[in-house]
Chain A
């Protein structure tokens, strides 16, 4: 469903991605790992359409559509959704309001009508309780005063409500204690289905104990230098990244 071919991306004049190629099929969970500064977050940001990233070469297609030609909101409406490492605060805007606006924008793009209020409330309450969150959370302003764990749960909650075709999660495990990580992982696992792809970006293997990926890719210096299955992640955990870096340089 997602095809990234020979992607080159420049940020403020320096090349971060240097020919990245990646293919994700429905039903697959991919994990991108790599040392700091390898360009992991850049990949998901470019796919989502964040400003300030210049694609100098290569292509990204999603279900046959040229992603780079699409507006940010069109990408989300097409089913590409990014969970942020550092979600921003939006003072005065209630969580529930953002969720409803986002859901309705996506429904509208699909030619469906607005979701009826009772149906929406039912859906939301179910997902909130699944994420072990309190209902009062919906009435708070988006991410305002949220703890790190609450912010991450909120990102997953949005995924559960919006049901993307491809969920991209950028360092969703950073700053989480073990209990919060379990809840987040459970949320992500519940998203697994044969028609959905999941792309995890993570620095640590720890998360992958809870969300077992089908494919693991090691990103070093803007390129995927090694791919494998979940065993590769475990190997990285015990041996670190240096050996892969050396192997790729050789």
Chain B
């Protein structure tokens, strides 16, 4: 069941992105930024956690989950640290993604030659 939900949810998010891209003048940069903000908004009142429980892996792949993890780590830290926890915990959960992207893109840029 999780497989089916993953397929539907991730496909649905990409479908919305493609529809916005085709029917307006927004670029992919606009759309990804918009989706991150939407993800952060959905997690404000715990909706995205509910989606993750129902959908599984398919909800961790779209860029909306990036916004979700940012705010989720920040709010988790406020439990122990108070309001300064928002600043301390912001990158707690997304650190792996950002670090991996920086390391791999730097290494591959050094190793491979650009095609054009």
Chains A and B belong together in one complex: no
Chain A interface residues toward B at CB < 8 A: none
